[in-house]
């Protein structure tokens, strides 16, 4: 009986120690300035009736203010994303208008709730804004396609607050080759090289996520400041062209850059092709791109119906789903390779990110809990959660051409 009692006492003590350890990690997480460098949430802002100030569930979104507060996410880079369209004057003009509208929606979000949000333009703004308990809103361009054939349009987006730009997305465009498309330019195009030069003049960070290896190499060679991969993974963990190989991660770190690990399923684990599922899934997700002309009730109904159809599709055509451990394998590989001064988080929330066990931003403290268990210090975690990205932004600003 005595032995059993001792075992019970020891078990209770161990459980209490575990709870205390998790509580300490949670407390540390909420004291840090936590930034995600790729938030696709601006796409939700155009949904009629959708309010970022309210907690949402079951509407295919992963970020809102209540969940950000719960997950200790202080903000990040809010993406102006434009799907790749035809490389024609008409296509580029439509993309320009869509990107300007998205930038306006981000600024309107801030203007509508100035006690909650604040625009950030330089690295030093992050600490000042966080100290006031506000959410930090940097802006980035994912896919430079909307700039058309006139890279000087980047100046207009800079004036609107954009501080990071990625040349390409899923397809080759006028600026360079994509990691997921057939090569055309063999790296950056002539226009892409002009884009790099102007970004350097303005102090805009260059984002190599989605870029082909050849474009990454050109960005490393031609950028006058460190670059960033705002939402990428490790090819050594999962061999996908969207991920970086170890040599390139080392080159990124050597120039002072950072790789921000994403949580997009296909980039974390192997997912066999499923043409039948893909054929049906495309039109479903397309429904979510045509909500702006609907009434709030119509938009909400369309989202509910689409979510239900996607769940049914998952049942009929199941595919492997990454979990938290899969995500952490990419994180820890990068940390082991280049250290905590060159790794961070860019989960691709509201753009396809999220894994089992970390479905939305409310779950982010799990990352800190794991890294605390692995022995990372508060100073190292501060860099991981935002300091590294801010260092890159500061370096780009410092290297800019004097006005």
Q: Which residues of 78-105 are buried (b: 16+ CB within 10 A; e: fewer)?
A: bbbbbebbeeeeeebeebbebbbebbeb
pLDDT computed for residue 401 by the predictor: 87
What are 62's two structure tokens?
């992963």
Work out whether the CA dihedral 281, 282, 288, 293 comes out positive or negative.
negative
Of 196, 201, 248, 204, the residue nearest 222 (C-alpha):
196
pLDDT computed for residue 19 by the predictor: 60
Answer whether 0.95 is exceeded by the pTM: no
Q: In this structure, which topology does domain 30-271+322-398 adopt according to CATH?
A: TIM Barrel (3.20.20)
Please name the residues in contact with 299: beta carbons below 8 A apart, sequence gap of 6 or more.
Answer: 47, 48, 49, 50, 291
Whether 178 and 210 have beta carbons less than 8 Å apart is answered as: yes
Identify the bridge partners of residue 137 per DSSP, sorted by sequence position.
Answer: 76, 119
pLDDT tens digit at each of 403 positions of the chain = 446 666 655 665 555 555 678 889 999 999 999 999 999 999 999 899 999 999 999 999 999 999 999 999 999 999 999 999 999 999 999 999 999 999 999 999 999 999 999 999 999 999 999 999 999 999 999 999 999 999 999 999 999 999 999 999 999 999 999 999 999 999 999 999 999 999 999 999 999 999 999 999 999 999 999 999 999 999 999 999 999 999 999 999 999 999 999 999 999 999 999 999 999 999 998 888 888 889 999 999 999 999 999 999 999 999 999 999 999 999 999 999 999 999 999 999 999 999 999 999 999 999 999 999 999 999 999 999 999 999 999 999 999 986 5
Domain regions of the chain by residue span: 30-271+322-398, 274-319
The dihedrals phi and psi of 400, each to the nearest 5 degrees, come to: -65, 160
pLDDT computed for residue 290 by the predictor: 83
pLDDT computed for residue 269 by the predictor: 98
pLDDT computed for residue 6 by the predictor: 65
Q: Reduce the secondary structure of the chain to three states and give it as a string.
A: CHHHHHHHHHHHHHHHHHHHHHHHHHHHHHHCCCEEEEECHHHHHHCCCCCCCCCCCCCCCCCCHHHHHHHCCCEEEEEEECCCCCCCHHHHHHHHHHHHHHHHHHHHHHHHCCCCEEECCCCHHHHHHHHCCCEEEEEEEECCHHHCCCCCHHHHHHHHCEEEEECCCCCCECCECECCCCCCCCCECHHHHHHHHHHHHHCCEEECCCECHHHHHHHHHHCCCCCEEEEECECCCCCCCCCECHHHHHHHHHCCCEEEECCCHHHHCCCCCCHHHHHHHHHHHHHCCCCCCCCHHHHHHHHHHHHHHHHHHHHHCCCCCCEHHHHHHHHHHHHHHHCCCCEEECCCECCCCCEECECCHHHCHHHHHHHHHCCCCHHHHHHHHHHHHHHHHHHHHHCCCCC
pLDDT computed for residue 402 by the predictor: 60
């Amino acid at each position: 009986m005595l032995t059993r009692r001792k075992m019970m006492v020891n078990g209770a003590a161990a459980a209490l120690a575990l709870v205390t350890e998790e509580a300490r990690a949670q407390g540390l997480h909420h004291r840090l300035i936590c930034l995600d460098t790729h938030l696709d949430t601006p796409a939700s802002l155009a949904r009629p009736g959708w309010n970022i100030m309210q907690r949402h569930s079951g509407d295919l979104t992963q970020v809102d203010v209540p969940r950000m507060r719960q997950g200790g996410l202080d903000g990040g880079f809010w993406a102006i994303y434009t799907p790749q369209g035809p490389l024609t004057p008409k296509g580029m003009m439509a993309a320009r208008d869509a990107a300007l509208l998205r930038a306006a929606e981000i600024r309107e979000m801030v203007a509508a709730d100035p006690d909650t949000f604040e625009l950030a333009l330089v690295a030093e703004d992050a600490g000042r804004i966080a100290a006031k308990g506000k959410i930090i809103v940097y802006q980035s361009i994912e896919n430079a396609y909307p700039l058309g054939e006139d890279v000087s349009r980047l100046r207009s987006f800079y004036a609107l607050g954009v501080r990071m730009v990625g040349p390409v997305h899923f397809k080759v465009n006028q600026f360079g080759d994509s990691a997921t498309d057939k090569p055309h330019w063999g790296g950056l195009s002539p226009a892409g090289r002009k884009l790099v030069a102007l970004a350097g003049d303005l102090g805009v960070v260059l984002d190599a996520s989605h870029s082909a290896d050849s474009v990454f190499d050109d960005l490393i060679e031609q950028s006058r400041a460190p670059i960033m991969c705002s939402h990428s993974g490790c090819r050594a963990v999962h061999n996908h062209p969207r991920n970086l190989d170890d040599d390139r991660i080392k080159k990124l770190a050597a120039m002072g850059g950072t790789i921000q690990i994403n949580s997009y399923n296909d980039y974390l684990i192997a997912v066999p092709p499923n043409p039948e599922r893909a054929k049906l899934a495309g039109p479903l997700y397309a429904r979510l791109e045509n909500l702006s002309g609907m009434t709030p009730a119509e938009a909400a109904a369309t989202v509910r119906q689409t979510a239900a159809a996607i769940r049914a599709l998952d049942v009929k055509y199941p595919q492997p789903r990454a979990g938290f451990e899969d995500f952490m394998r990419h994180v820890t590989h990068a940390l082991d390779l280049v250290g905590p001064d060159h790794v961070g988080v860019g989960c691709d929330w509201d753009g396809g990110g999220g894994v089992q066990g970390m479905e939305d931003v409310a779950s982010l403290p799990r990352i800190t809990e794991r890294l605390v268990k692995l022995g990372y210090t508060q100073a190292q975690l501060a860099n991981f959660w935002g300091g590294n990205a801010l260092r890159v932004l500061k370096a780009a600003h410092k290297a800019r051409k004097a006005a």
